[in-house]
Copies of this chain bind each other. A is one copy, B any other.
Amino acid sequence: MSFLKLKDFEEKEPVPGYKVRFIHSDNMTFAYWNIDAGASLPEHSHPHEQVANVIEGKFEFNLAGDKRVIEPGDVVTIPSNVKHSGKAVTDCRLIDVFYPVREDYK
């Protein structure tokens, strides 16, 4: 159990314009994104369930062909292996949560 501070975690940029800090709990991975306006995330999928939360800004989310602009107060649930992609409409902050842990992000 622990109290953590995001600023103590290394910021990575796995995709241009997608800056992120990861926290892994016993069962879940949390991705804290700071995304530059205009930056695109190519289509991908993974066996992990994902839930996306918009904290600030606007993000165009494409979930298996259903494309919508999401903003604070919006939540996207992405079941295992469903293809998704996206593009930041403005600078934005998102929190993605994955189950199980993203071992590939450790």
Given contacts A49-B27, A51-B30, contact A77 B1 (CB under 8 A): yes
A82→B2 CA distance, assembly (Å):
11
Query: Which residues of chain A from 77 to 106 have a CB within 8 Å of any chain B CB?
Result: 77-80, 82, 95, 97, 99
Decide if the interface of chain A is mainly helix, strand, loop or mixed: strand
Chain B nearest CB, measured from A24 CB (Å): 9
| Chain A interface size, under 10 / 10 to 19 / 20 to 34 / 35 or more | 35 or more
Binding site for B on A (CB under 8 A): 1-7, 23, 25-28, 30, 49, 51, 53, 55, 61, 63-64, 66, 68, 70, 73-80, 82, 95, 97, 99
CB<8 Å pairs between A and B, sample of 7:
A3-B66, A4-B76, A5-B73, A6-B73, A6-B75, A30-B75, A97-B97
